[in-house]
Structure 1
């Protein structure tokens, strides 16, 4: 895990004239789970979206697998095998589960491998096999999140970006989602995880970064950040009920 798969180097990004990211730097090594935590509005989602060029970095650079992608069009970045499960899931609600997965597989460009990829994601999330002919919009929130992750996996990514995968889900479903992320990483997938759920995220992550108002303020291993008093005070005090419900 010595080589960096993704490097974000002093990136500034704006929405219109409003600066949102202020010289953000972070890196993700091959085979890691790296977490970015922070309060709502801290700039976490913007960091993830800037990797895809929406918004475009106005300063700094983004390097993926040794290639500068800072100015590449979004569709070309996706073809480099970076996949995203966005905040709010954003599945295709009128399409069936199977059709959503077929859309995800387009990036892989390997029709002969579709059945193998399908078996992989439905083994990870068995409920999707049972719901294959059901429209995505009729699934529960947890099932939609599983579908969003599975759709991203159908593109065979080198790097999986997950934006708030636990948002709005019941604690036991959150536990299932995080267990799936851990299993994917054990199989060799590199994961960049943006979350407000600091406890579960830092327990899972190899390393993490804390973002406040578009700036990286702390970094370290997951355990190191969990042990920091300022992290516990800012992000863990509200998690007590969830920790009891999940048995963590």
Structure 2
């Protein structure tokens, strides 16, 4: 059973909620064959929040992200988005509900140019606001504008991550799901990525569900966080308070057990 924390700093406290969560995960159990990867996971993400899920490698973070997006399906439990049960909805239909995913490992189209990759993202929205959205992405990530005609596969790791996020944003999502956006990137690039996420949330109210191994950056950024250990939520609470928890510091911030 997870332990829910109460914020001690008023500036960080989340007000009492009267609305339903935008994303509601309840009792989700996901299996790979006979191996249970998620053990009854409960997660809430409210409109306008940045919520992070941290945990060590192999804890089940990416499995939860993929389960929300329909691959694989949970064997038990439910997933609701804006009140609609999407537990069994096909992945392509989930994308049309305005949930965008930037998956682990970036997975851009390496043979396509930066421009063509961004076009692929805009296709979900029917290219209705293509020029305006393209300009927003270029303001957020100026490096992509400099590389507009370059093939995705020839970009640096950081540039590919910017492109993956930019492609997701081109669909005008109501919920942006990011899986390990800092993975394998230099500290300066990581800071740029997290600054961009913060800016999107601050200026546009974009709701973000962030899966991360980099607990320090993720919990500093997030309004709320969850800790996943061996497929189960063990802690939840305000992001900055979780940063101060001794067990979180020992496991994820001070070179302790991973």
Same fold? TM cut 0.5: yes
Q: 1:10 aligns with which of 7, 18, 27?
A: 27
Give me the whole-angstrom Cα distance separating, in 2, the residues matched to 1:104 and 1:199. 30
- Deviations along 1:32-77, one digit per CA (max 9) or x if unpaired, are 0000000000000000000011110110100001100001111111
Give me the whole-angstrom Cα distance separating, in 1, the residues matched to 2:193 and 2:40. 32
Q: 2:58 aligns with which of 41, 45, 48?
A: 41
1:170 aligns with 2:170: no
Give me the whole-angstrom Cα distance separating, in 1, the residues matched to 2:128 and 2:231. 43
Q: 1:23 aligns with which of 40, 45, 48?
A: 40
Matches within 5 A, 1:96-115: 96-109=113-126, 111-115=127-131
Matches within 5 A, 1:223-238: 223-238=240-255
Give me the whole-angstrom Cα distance separating, in 1, the residues matched to 2:162 and 2:119. 15
Q: Name the SS for the 1:106 alignment partner.
A: helix
Give me the whole-angstrom Cα distance separating, in 2, the residues matched to 1:11 and 1:115. 39
Give me the whole-angstrom Cα distance separating, in 2, the residues matched to 1:196 and 1:113. 34
Q: Which residue of 1 aligns with 2:6?
A: none
> Deviation at 1:112?
4.0
Q: Which residue of 1 aligns with 2:213?
A: 196
1:146 aligns with 2:167: no
TM-score, with length taken from structure 1? 0.94
TM-score, with length taken from structure 2? 0.91
Give me the whole-angstrom Cα distance separating, in 1, the residues matched to 2:95 and 2:151. 25
> Deviation at 1:22?
0.5
Give me the whole-angstrom Cα distance separating, in 1, the residues matched to 2:87 and 2:151. 36
Could you list the structure 1 runs, at least 4 aligned residues long, displaced by more than 4 angstroms after superposition.
none
Q: Which residue of 1 aligns with 2:201?
A: 185
Segments of structure 2 that go 5 or more residues without pairing to the other structure are 1-14
Give me the whole-angstrom Cα distance separating, in 1, the residues matched to 2:156 and 2:241. 35
Higher RCO, Cα 8 Å, sep 6+: 2
Give me the whole-angstrom Cα distance separating, in 2, the residues matched to 1:54 and 1:215. 19
Matched pairs, number: 238
> Deviation at 1:113?
1.2
Segments of structure 1 that go 5 or more residues without pairing to the other structure are 240-248
Matches within 5 A, 1:121-136: 121-136=137-152
> Deviation at 1:15?
1.2
Q: Which residue of 2 aligns with 1:208?
A: 225
Q: In the superposition, relative to structure 1, how do residues 138 and 220 fare at CA in structure 2: closer, same or farther (>3 Å)?
A: same
Q: Which residue of 2 aligns with 1:76?
A: 93
Give me the whole-angstrom Cα distance separating, in 2, the residues matched to 1:134 and 1:148. 14
